[in-house]
Amino acid sequence: MPETVYITRRETFNAAHRLFRPEWDDRKNLEVFGKCSNPLWHGHNYVLYVTVGGEVDPVTGFVANLKELSRLVRERVIQKLDHANINLEVDFMQDRLASTENLAIGIWEQLEEAVNQMGAKLHKIRLEETENNFVEYFGKGNAFNH
Pick out residues in 108-137 that bind a copy of itself (CB under 8 A): 123, 130-137
Instruction: Figure out which of the listed residues 31, 34, 94, 113 binds a copy of itself, where binding follows CB under 8 A.
Output: 34
Give the separation between CA 111 and CA 107, rounded to whole angstroms. Answer: 6
Spatial CB neighbours of 4, under 8 Å, sequence gap ≥ 6: 53, 54, 55
Active site residue 36: yes
Give the separation between CA 82 and CA 12, rounded to whole angstroms. Answer: 8
Pick out residues in 53-112 that bind a copy of itself (CB under 8 A): 53, 56, 59-63, 66-67, 82-85, 88-89, 96-102, 104-105
Spatial CB neighbours of 144, under 8 Å, sequence gap ≥ 6: 138
CB nearer a copy of itself, residue 36 or residue 114: 36
Least separation in angstroms between CB 18 and a copy of itself? 9
The CA angle 125-37-85, to the nearest 5 degrees, is: 55
CB nearer a copy of itself, residue 42 or residue 113: 42
Indicate which residues carry an active-site annotation.
Answer: 36, 83, 129
